[in-house]
Amino acid sequence: MATQPFRLGWFGNLTAPEWRDGWSEQDATGWTDGRFHVEMVQAMERAGFDFMMLEDSLMVPDIYAGTAELELKHAVYAPKLDPVPVVSMLAYATEHIGIVATASSTFYPPYLLARTFATLDHVTRGRVGWNVVTSSEDRAAQNFGMDEIPEHDKRYDVAAEFLDVTTKLWDSWDPDAIVADPVTGYYADHTRVNPIHHDGEYFSVRGPLNTPRGPQGKPVICQAGSSPRGRDFAAANADMLLTIPNGLEEMKKYRDDIRARAEKFGRDPDEIKVFFVVAPVVGRTDEIAAAKQEEFLSQKQRNYEFQMCNFAATMEIDFSVFDPDQPIPDDVTTNGHQGQFAIWKDMFGGRSIKDAASAMRIASLEMIGSPETIANTMEEAMDYVGGDGFMFLSQPPSRSYIADITEGLCPELARRGLIRTGFGHKTFRENLRAF
């Protein structure tokens, strides 16, 4: 059995929380004021979570059957809020938990991004993370003056230079640049604030930043690449990784692979924490959890439509043109999330599109049961895989689901010494690396 504790995160969507059960009328439309997510992050901090991550995308998808109808019907990728400003609000309502915002290297100018995240590092007192994504949708590109999203590997080339530029900008203020010395009359020492004069293949940025160095120097870098190119980018740069390999074997393989790649880049693999996506169904007893799963499975058409939206948005594949009673055709490819598409195809196995999608939860392992049952599965999985943590995903979350995890499952994990019960450090990166 595992003796090492592991970490918990939540994959947060700034979209409508669960609204279909009729129990949450106020949240169904009121969530846009951010209060639902404030209460959510407070519950997570209390329960021993390391972070809440806020995903993002920059379009209203209309790929499935050439219309936004299903997307908006189910509120899957839209409507949503911009995660970046919401970080401030979540941070002000909490003390210790890390907050990760997604921002795209394909659309932000590096100076603006570096400035925004330096600002967030200050106002969160060193608790911000940046989920570096390259985006994957033509529909998003068309909102930024492009006809289509750049080719997959090229996006990573741009992202690598982008991260290099932003890192130089964060370093353009020495840690001791602010002297604030009434005797000499100097607030900041100009010899410790330097231009970067970056002139690269994709970006030309003079610097320095006009925002001083944040408590972490650089935000925690989060990444979710799963293609070979994406894994290299992540292994070279990331503090934490988000991933959904299918099953224990693939989880172990993925983590071992990332750690080997990190060593190849001269890094200590323990600096990188891998988070596996899970979506446990928790009940007071195994029987209650099984009944909840039955109810989920009974919503076949709703689940099917929801997953079709997922495929359409992130892969830009219109599944409406395929026969739903057949498996995914072999020759379907994507310029979107390539690694993820391969995994989803694997999850589908030989099943028909309709059968597989209508019963699908996006998760590395199926977990259905009481807190004790789920804690056993998590403990065994971490023991087998080697570490580092899990990230919960619920599309969409409800207050009762959040309570199942934070008030039901987490206390059981804490009793076993498997998750943190406090924070020993001030910054997100230090806490992440504490064990």
Ligand X SMILES: Cc1cc2nc3c(=O)[nH]c(=O)nc-3n(C[C@H](O)[C@H](O)[C@H](O)COP(=O)(O)O)c2cc1C
Please give the residue ranges that form the binding site for ligand X (CB under 6 A).
11, 55-57, 102, 131, 133-136, 152, 224-227, 230, 242-244, 277, 337-340
Q: Spell out the residues 6+ positions from residue 388 whose beta carbon is closer than 8 angstroms to its own.
A: 6, 7, 255, 273, 274, 275
Residue type, 370: S
Q: From the centroid of its chain, how far is CA 311?
A: 17
For residues 71 and 74, what is the distance between their CA atoms, to the nearest angstrom? 6
Complex with ligand X: residue 48 or 339, whichever CB lies closer: 339
Complex with ligand X: residue 149 or 196, whichever CB lies closer: 149
Instruction: Give the shortest CB-347-to-ligand X separation in angstroms.
Output: 13
* Six token digits for residue 114: 């570096």
Complex with ligand X: residue 225 or 283, whichever CB lies closer: 225
Residue nearest to ligand X (CB): 230
Nearest to 201 by CA among 153, 160, 240: 160
Complex with ligand X: residue 337 or 420, whichever CB lies closer: 337
Phi, then psi, of 259 in degrees rounded to 5 = -65, -40
Complex with ligand X: residue 114 or 244, whichever CB lies closer: 244
Instruction: Give the shortest CB-229-to-ligand X separation in angstroms.
Output: 6
Instruction: Give the shortest CB-241-to-ligand X separation in angstroms.
Output: 9
DSSP 238: -
Instruction: Give the shortest CB-311-to-ligand X separation in angstroms.
Output: 13
Instruction: Give the shortest CB-77-to-ligand X separation in angstroms.
Output: 10
273 burial via Cβ count (<10 Å: 0-12, 13-18, 19+): buried
**Unique residue bearing structure tokens 């099917």:** 304
For residues 207 and 250, what is the distance between their CA atoms, to the nearest angstrom? 43
254 in Cβ contact with 245 (< 8 Å):
yes
Instruction: Give the shortest CB-102-to-ligand X separation in angstroms.
Output: 4
For residues 391 and 98, what is the distance between their CA atoms, to the nearest angstrom? 13
Evaluated on CA atoms 343, 356, 75, 17, the torsion sign reads negative
Instruction: Give the shortest CB-394-to-ligand X separation in angstroms.
Output: 13
Complex with ligand X: residue 70 or 235, whichever CB lies closer: 235
Complex with ligand X: residue 198 or 229, whichever CB lies closer: 229
Complex with ligand X: residue 97 or 224, whichever CB lies closer: 224
Instruction: Give the shortest CB-1-to-ligand X separation in angstroms.
Output: 27
Alpha helices in 365-423, H assignment, sequence order: 371-385, 399-403, 410-415
